Structure 1
Amino acid sequence: MSKACDPSGAPVGDVGTALLMVDARIKQIHELDPADGDAAEYRELDGLFAASTDADGLQDLVDGTCTLIYMFMQWLRATHEEGGKDVIEYVVPTLVTTLRQMPKSVRPHTIPTMTALVIAAGTGLSPNGWRSQYGDWTLEEMNALEATVFLVAEHINRMADDHGFAVRLIADALPGGEHDGD
C-alpha cells in the first residue's frame, strides 16, 4: 500500500461536525415536514456554518467526511464479508445509479471520483490519501462528496432498517460517544 493511501497516516479531520451534517441531512429527508419550513431552516444553518468556517475548518470538514466514508465502508465491508458478499459489488452500483439521478446536485464528471473514493475506502485505503494524489478538491466535488457520505450512511440505515443506525454507529465509536439507547 502506498504511504499516501495508508489510513493510519491520513488526517482524521472534523468527524464530529461531518457526522452532525450527515445526521441533519438524514433527519431532513426522513423526519421533517417540508410544509413546516424545516428544510429551509436546515439550508440556512448550512449556509451559516459555511460562512463561519475558514479554509482550515472547511478542509477539516472534508477530511472528516472522508473519514466517515472510510468508517462506514469498513463496517459495510465487515458486514458483507460475514455474509460471503463483496462490499464493492453491493454498494457501488447503487451509489453510482443514485448519484446519476442527481444531475443538479452532483455533476456527472464528479461521479467517477466519488466511486473511486468509495472503492478506496471499501478496500481499506484512506479516501483522503487516495484523493490527495490527484490534486486539491474542487468546489463541484463538494456537493458530490456530501451526497456520497449521505448515500453510504443511508445504505447502512436500510440494511439495519433504522434511519439513525449509521450515525449511532460512528457516534458510539468516537471518544466519549457511548450511546445510552435513548
Structure 2
Amino acid sequence: MPSPCDSRYAPAGNVGAALMLIDSRLKTVYDGKAGTDPEQQQLMDQFTASLGPEEANDLVDGACTLIYMFMQWLRMAYEDHDRDVIEYVVPSFVASMRMMTKSIRPEVIPTMTGLIVAAATGLSPNLWRKQYGDWTGDEMNALEATALLLAEHINRLTDDHDFATRLIAEALSSAHRD
C-alpha cells in the first residue's frame, strides 16, 4: 500500500528559485566570508519579500524537492559502497545543525532530521512534514540550512564545489527536455 507521503504525490514547487538561493549560500561559504555579504543578503531579502503566499509555498516545496533529490543521490552513492545513508549523513547533519545556534532553534532539529530520513526512505519531505501541521517561521531558516548542508555534503564527497548545483540543474534541464 503506497504511503500518502510517497514522493509521487508531492508538488515539486519552485526548484529553480530554491536552487538559486542554496547556490548563493554555497558560494558565500566557499568564498570564506565570515557571514553573508550584506548586498547579497539584501537581494535575497528583497526576493523573498516579493513573494506572495503561493510563491512562498512554491519556494518551500522547491526546497523540499532539493532535499529529496540530494538525499536520493546520497542514498545511491552510499549504497554503491555498501553503506547506509542514514548512518553516514544524519549524525554529521545533526552535529552541524546543533552548532548553528544563532539561526537554528534546537527544537526544529528533530523535524529537519525527520525530513532527511523521510527523503532517504523515498518519502516526500514536504508531505511528511505536512502531517504535523503548517510550517513554522522557525523552520524556514532550518529548512534552508538543511538543503545547504546536504548540498555541501555532496560537494565534499565529490570534491567539487559546484557538483550539487550542477546535479539539480542538469536534472531540471533534462526534465524540461522530456
TM-score range, shorter chain: over 0.9
Aligned equivalent of 1:14:
14
Map 1:16-165 onto structure 2 (within 5 A).
16-31=16-31, 39-165=37-163
Distance in 1, matches of 2:174 and 2:80, equals 28
SS state of the match for residue 100, structure 1? helix
- Report the Cα distance in structure 1 between the residues aligned to 2:36 and 2:149, rounded to whole angstroms: 21
SS at match of 1:175: helix
C-alpha displacement at 1:31, in angstroms?
Answer: 2.3
Deviates more, 1:75-84 or 1:169-178: 169-178
Compute the TM-score of the two structures, normalised by the length of structure 1.
Answer: 0.92
Separation (CA, whole Å) in 2 of partners of 1:24 and 1:176: 22
Partners of 1:151 and 1:117 in 2: how far apart? 13
Q: Please give the alpha-carbon distance, in whole angstroms, between the structure 1 residues aligned to 2:43 and 2:76.
A: 35
Distance 1:54 1:2 in 2: 33
Name the count of aligned residue pairs. 176
Distance (Å, rounded) in 1 between the aligned partners of 2:77 and 2:175: 22
Residue 168 of structure 2 corresponds to 170
Cα deviation per residue 1:79-98 (whole Å; 9 max; x = unaligned)? 10010000000000000000
Counterparts of 1:33 and 1:90, CA distance in 2: 28
* Displacement of 1:4: 2.4
- Answer yes or no: is the 8 Å Cα contact 1:32–1:38 preserved in 2: no
CA contact (8 A) 1:3 1:9 kept: no
- Secondary structure, aligned partner of 1:75: helix
1:38, distance to aligned residue in structure 2 (A): 7.1
Let me know the Cα RMSD of the aligned residues: 1.8
Give percent identity, aligned residues only. 57
Distance 1:115 1:125 in 2: 13
8 Å Cα contact 1:18-1:61 kept in structure 2: yes
Unaligned runs of 5+ residues in structure 1 are none
Q: With structure 2 as the length reference, what TM-score do the two structures score?
A: 0.94
Residue identity in the other structure for 2:170: D
The alpha-carbon deviation at position 43 of structure 1 amounts to 0.7
For residues 38 and 122 of structure 1, the distance between their equivalents in structure 2, rounded to whole angstroms, comes to: 30
